Amino acid sequence: MVKIKLIGFDSMGTRGMATVIDIDGFKVFIDPGVNIAPRRYGLPPHPLELEALEKHLDEIHRETIDSNVLIITHYHRDHYLYREGEAEYYRGKIVLIKDPNRKINYSQRVRAHILLNKLGIKDIASKVKPADNETFDFNNIKIRFSKPLPHGARGSKLGYTLAVSVETPYGVIVHASDVQGPMDREALEEILRFEPDILIISGPPTYFEGLRINSENINEGLRNMLELAERVKEGSTLIVDHHLLRDLNYYSKVKHIVEACSVRNVRFITAAEFMGLEIKQLEAMRRTLWEENH
């Protein structure tokens, strides 16, 4: 039996894609991290966001304790544990990581060095292995990694991330962190190569369109997501979240993709909906939340 627990996604009020996959008691935890934006609309986090962050961090800490494998797809701080005292959660774990020395930008390389050496997880984990384009077998579970994929569009200054496929006797679960649609054509093909039954993916950051990201890149992310919907297996599930859910009007941007999914009996939902929770886009609502306090 497979159980999937999603924690701290943007549809739940914090930034992250923390995903626990429990296969008959063997637990794989992908991207055990969460964060909130320090500024949005020129405003600091609202108390509701801080409350959600504390709640999700507590859940992540609890889940890491009995996880067998921890996976870090890249070194942005909403995707791994890095705070003071959090090194202990890596103790005794198998930790599979984005290679800190190849296909990595400067800021992520520095963060990886701090995590591995200053926080010392390479000394307290049972095993730390670079995972780029690698496969790991754990009894009847196979964990496969993509080659490094652009964090968004090809040539992105934000560096690279890894997609992860967890193959179980009950189906294939794929986690595609921060590919943003995907925006990159090669990332699309890598994800489809895994033939997911359930795909957990970050959607394009439509809230940045025309600001930090040009419209063509956003449109490419939406086009590739539509193609994804048209090419995944019939009856599969797409859990689309993270960057996309920072846009209060996200649904209008992807309505045509949802309709394409329904034609093929593909389920298109957010992480909150998958977990049976109400969608709470707290970051996107920050201005309104602060106005309600006055």
Q: Is the dihedral of CA 163, 166, 167, 172 positive or negative?
A: negative
Calculate the average pLDDT of the chain: 96
Q: Map tokens 């602060």 to a residue.
A: 290
pLDDT digits (tens, 9 = 90+) for 180-227: 999 999 999 999 999 999 999 999 999 987 667 788 999 999 999 999
Residue 294 is predicted with a pLDDT of: 64
% of the chain beyond a pLDDT of 70: 99
3-class state of residue 76 by DSSP: coil
pTM strictly above 0.95: yes
Please calculate the CA angle 26-28-29 and round it to the nearest 5 degrees. Answer: 140
User: Residue 55 corresponds to which tokens in the numbers above?
Assistant: 């709640």
- Segment 124-134 mean pLDDT: 98
Query: Which residues, other chains included, contact 10 with Cβ-Cβ below 8 Å and sequence gap of 6+?
Result: 16, 241, 242, 243, 244, 245, 246, 271, 281, 283
Tell me phi and psi for residue 266, to 5 degrees: -100, 130
Residue 156 is predicted with a pLDDT of: 87
Alpha carbons 107 and 173: distance in angstroms, whole number: 29
Instruction: Tell me if 202 sits within 8 A of 177, measured CB to CB.
Output: yes
Does the pLDDT value for residue 165 go beyond 80? yes
Q: How confident is the model at residue 293 (pLDDT cuts 50, 70, 90)?
A: confident
pLDDT digits (tens, 9 = 90+) for 67-80: 999 999 999 999 99
- Segment 97-124 mean pLDDT: 95
Q: Map tokens 């920050």 to a residue.
A: 286
Does the pLDDT value for residue 163 go beyond 90? yes
Residue 196 is predicted with a pLDDT of: 98
Residue 210 is predicted with a pLDDT of: 64
Fold of 2-292: Metallo-beta-lactamase; Chain A (3.60.15)
Residue 211 is predicted with a pLDDT of: 67
Going by DSSP bridges, is the β-strand pair 141-145/163-168 parallel, antiparallel, or unpaired? antiparallel
Residue 240 is predicted with a pLDDT of: 98
pLDDT digits (tens, 9 = 90+) for 1-42: 999 999 999 999 999 999 999 999 999 999 999 999 999 999
User: Residue 234 corresponds to which tokens in the numbers above?
Assistant: 């019939």
Cis? peptide before 182, omega within 30° of 0: yes
